[in-house]
A and B are shown apart, each in its own frame.
Chain A
């Protein structure tokens, strides 16, 4: 019975809320992730990428998309554990965001995922590199509430 309730609860939170033109991710709940990842870019929610992606990213911080983002080992390990546990194919919340990617592929950029591209197909490439936005990884420049997990339609 307890398992049934748990399963029902998980199903409820597992439904990606796409209603009313927006996408909802659970808010981050790890202070180290918020502080360390958020120092240079929006702290992306772990549900955007599968476990193998977070393992690859957190295992190569000395070359993190062209920069050295090394962390003390204890902090690095804590962040990796949180990201892997809550990944798109993790234990807590199946976002389906990275579903359909062949198991032998390890996506490293959220912006390369087919689902991300579909959601942004109407946006021209120039809009992503303009002065204000700078890079498509800068979610908050268009989705003001992205850091708290709500990606409203612009």
Chain B
């Protein structure tokens, strides 16, 4: 393809990328979908916040299963760190800067929130919680 046309397309696409941008189209699409859900649940919802996501990640709710009282039980308190499952297997870092593939596959994102929210909190996470969490990890 002609390089000038390619450059024009890239420029046009970057202008189109609006909303909660994390410089990764797949992740932005996941966040846009969560934002829609959050606004459906709460008409006054004002958008995701990394700071709320940080608090959520570092909290110890201990309202789920006894072996997993918090996110940090397996992920460690630093999103940059490699975590460890209870069975001894390594978990790649949650921080997007350390692991750029994080939060780019919608099915994986749903699967892991579905499992871990129930393991740690004893309930599903809300769309707002998921969006805050991803926004925080994308900023790390």
Contacts and interface: CB of A to CB of B under 8 A. Distances in A.
Interface stretch (B1-9, B44-52, B53-61, B82-90): B82-90
Interface stretch (B12-20, B33-41, B65-73, B130-138): B65-73
Interface in A106-140: 133-135, 137-138
B111 A67 contact: no
B116 interface: yes
B118 interface: yes
Given A66-B68, A67-B67, A68-B65, A41 B116 contact: no
A134 B87 contact: yes
Contact of A41 (B88, B115, B119): B88
B65 A135 contact: no
Interface residues of B, number: 17
A62 interface: yes
A66 B86 contact: yes
A141 interface: yes
B114 interface: yes
B73 to A, nearest CB: 10
Nearest to B117: A68
Contacts of A67: 65, 67-68, 86, 115, 119
Interface string B62-82: 000111100000000000000
Given A66-B66, A66-B68, A71 B87 contact: no
Nearest to A141: B88
Interface in A17-46: 38-42
Interface string B95-126: 00000000000010001001110110000000
A71 B108 CA distance: 10
**Secondary structure of the A side of the interface?**
loop
A36 to B, nearest CB: 9
A72 interface: yes
Contact of B119 (A38, A68, A72, A137): A68
B94 to A, nearest CB: 14
B89 A72 contact: no
Contacts of B84: 134
A66 to B, nearest CB: 4
A30 B120 CA distance: 30
Q: List the 4 closest A-B pairs by CB distance, nearest first.
A: A41-B87, A138-B88, A134-B88, A66-B67
18 contacts: A38-B89, A41-B85, A41-B89, A67-B65, A67-B68, A67-B119, A68-B65, A68-B116, A68-B118, A69-B115, A70-B114, A134-B86, A134-B88, A135-B86, A135-B88, A137-B88, A138-B87, A141-B88
